[in-house]
């Protein structure tokens, strides 16, 4: 309880000193009144069975500890670069020419309301509610109808300030027929607490790729809610990579709302030491003729732990859908742990659904084969880990993004 008291007092003080624009303040107030009493989820809550959030929150991350820092700007010109610091958009540094960006407080109240009523499964989750009661300024990005964005948009989210708390909200609106590739990178030099909510609306026939790479400082806490609504014949390709933070958690909710909507939602968590990652995904097939594919992989070294819970729900009228889900974990040490919970709720009868999960170690025979050719065990492990990670990396369609991710995994010594 003490922990929550700290956060409540911290926010109270912060928002009294830094008042929000009135429309956001009223939203925040509404949530504050609704959630006067917060309980940090514990093991008794099935969705949080394997993740002890309180341990991370005990760091007492504070709004007041955010600090500004000079961002390094060796721009990779293959990308259109956009910069955030502590959740705030750095407009002057960012290349925004072809994107419409509005502060959340400047958009129509109905738009915001829509966002906050579409959370569904995660509406009652601690992370969502915690994000709302601490709602700060957020952003609404509009990608115009039928526009083909030539360059991949690289969004750099950097957090600064030891033990700073950062609450972030972003709304990405992809209009009909647009084609966009996004790469989002999350980094920090300090131990930061981040709670970010992304709301993504993909209108009919839009094609969106959104790759995220979370590599916060290894003591950090990273909580991300990610909601995507997908309309007729639109496609969403989302691949999330987690290599940073002491604790990271993804709440992923994707709803395939209309005929022909499809999504690929994949992920790789490559952890070491005491790092802990938990992905909870919920994919809802609301309309017929919709498709979803998921491939989540964990590479777990030392005493790290990776958790994947994947729920696929098929509604009664969602006939002729295809849903695939696979979780594979590679344990690189005896102390590493993986938990995998595939769950399917199928209420239609004419569907194709499959799920599976495996957890294993590097094969001794494979390792010996490498060693017998003069390759050291450590190098061999990394080559085999690379092979293991490879099919997730290949889910990235944009070549430049794939290059950034491959280099990152190599640099982190996860793969050769």
| Residue (13 or 377) nearer to another protein, CB | 377
| Residues of span 69-98 touching another protein by CB under 8 A | none
Number of residues that make up the chain = 416
Choose the binding region for another protein from 21-29, 68-76, 269-277, 376-384 (rule: CB under 8 A): 376-384
- By CB under 8 A, tell whether 406 contacts another protein: no
- By CB under 8 A, tell whether 383 contacts another protein: yes
Cβ atoms of 197 and 225 within 8 Å: the answer is yes
Choose the binding region for another protein from 30-38, 130-138, 211-219, 377-385 (rule: CB under 8 A): 377-385
Cβ atoms of 295 and 268 within 8 Å: the answer is no
CA atoms within 13 A on the CB side of 134: 30
Residues paired with 254 in a beta bridge: 228, 283
| Residue (347 or 371) nearer to another protein, CB | 371
- By CB under 8 A, tell whether 384 contacts another protein: yes
- By CB under 8 A, tell whether 376 contacts another protein: yes
What distances in angstroms separate CA 373 from CA 361, 363, 414, one per listed residue? 21, 16, 21
| Residue (50 or 390) nearer to another protein, CB | 390
Q: What share of the chain is helix, strand, coil (3-state, %, to 5)?
A: 25, 40, 35
| Residue (50 or 370) nearer to another protein, CB | 370
| Residue (37 or 373) nearer to another protein, CB | 373
Q: How far is the CB of 279 from another protein (least distance, A)?
A: 22
| Residue (131 or 381) nearer to another protein, CB | 381
Q: How far is the CB of 371 from another protein (least distance, A)?
A: 4
Q: How far is the CB of 381 from another protein (least distance, A)?
A: 12
- By CB under 8 A, tell whether 377 contacts another protein: yes
Which listed residue (379, 410, 412, 413) binds another protein by CB under 8 A?
A: 379
DSSP alpha helix (H) spans, 121-232: 126-133
Name the token pair of 322.
């295809």
| Residues of span 353-372 touching another protein by CB under 8 A | 363-366, 368-372
DSSP letter, residue 148? B
Cβ atoms of 217 and 247 within 8 Å: the answer is no
Q: How far apart are CA 98 and CA 78, in angstroms?
A: 16
Name 89's Cβ contacts closer than 8 Å, sequence gap at least 6. Answer: 82, 83, 101, 139
Q: How far is the CB of 267 from another protein (least distance, A)?
A: 18
Q: How far apart are CA 41 and CA 56, in angstroms?
A: 12
Contacts with another protein by CB under 8 A lie at 363-366, 368-377, 379-380, 383-384, 386-388, 390-391, 416
């Amino acid at each position: 309880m003490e922990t929550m008291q700290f956060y409540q007092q911290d926010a109270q003080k912060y928002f009294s000193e830094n008042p929000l624009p009135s429309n956001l303040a009223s939203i925040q107030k509404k949530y504050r009144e609704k959630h006067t009493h917060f309980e940090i989820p514990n093991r008794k809550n099935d969705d949080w069975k394997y993740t002890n959030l309180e341990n991370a929150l005990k760091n007492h991350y504070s709004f007041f500890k955010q600090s500004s820092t000079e961002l390094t700007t060796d721009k990779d010109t293959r990308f259109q670069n956009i910069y955030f610091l502590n959740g705030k958009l750095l407009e002057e540094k960012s290349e925004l020419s072809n994107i419409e960006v509005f502060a959340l407080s400047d958009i129509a109240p109905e738009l915001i309301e829509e966002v906050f009523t579409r959370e569904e499964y995660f509406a009652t989750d601690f992370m969502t509610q915690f994000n709302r009661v601490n709602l700060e300024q957020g952003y609404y990005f509009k990608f115009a109808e039928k526009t083909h964005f030539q360059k991949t948009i690289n969004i750099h989210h950097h957090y600064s300030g030891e033990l700073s708390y950062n609450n972030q909200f972003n709304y990405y609106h992809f209009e009909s027929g647009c084609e966009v590739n996004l790469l989002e990178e999350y980094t920090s030099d300090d131990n930061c607490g981040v709670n970010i909510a992304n709301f993504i609306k993909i209108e009919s026939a839009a094609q969106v790729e959104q790759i995220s790479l979370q590599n916060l400082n290894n003591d950090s806490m990273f909580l991300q809610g990610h909601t995507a609504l997908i309309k007729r014949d639109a496609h969403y390709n989302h691949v999330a990579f987690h290599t940073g933070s002491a604790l990271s958690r993804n709440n992923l909710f994707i709803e395939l709302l209309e005929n022909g909507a499809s999504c690929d939602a994949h992920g790789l968590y490559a952890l070491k030491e005491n790092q802990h990652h938990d992905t909870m995904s919920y994919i809802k097939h609301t309309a017929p003729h919709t498709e979803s594919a998921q491939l989540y992989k964990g590479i777990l070294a030392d005493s790290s732990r990776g958790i994947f819970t994947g729920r696929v729900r098929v509604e009664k009228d969602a006939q002729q859908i295809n849903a695939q889900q696979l979780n594979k974990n590679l344990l690189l040490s005896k102390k590493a742990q993986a938990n995998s919970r595939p769950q399917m709720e199928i209420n239609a009868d004419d569907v194709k659904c499959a799920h599976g999960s495996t957890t294993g170690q590097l094969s001794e025979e494979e390792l010996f084969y490498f060693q017998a050719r003069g390759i050291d065990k450590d190098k061999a492990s990394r080559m085999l880990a690379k092979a293991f990670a490879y099919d997730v990396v290949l889910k990235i369609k944009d070549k430049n993004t794939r290059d950034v991710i491959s280099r990152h995994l190599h640099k982190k010594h996860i793969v050769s």
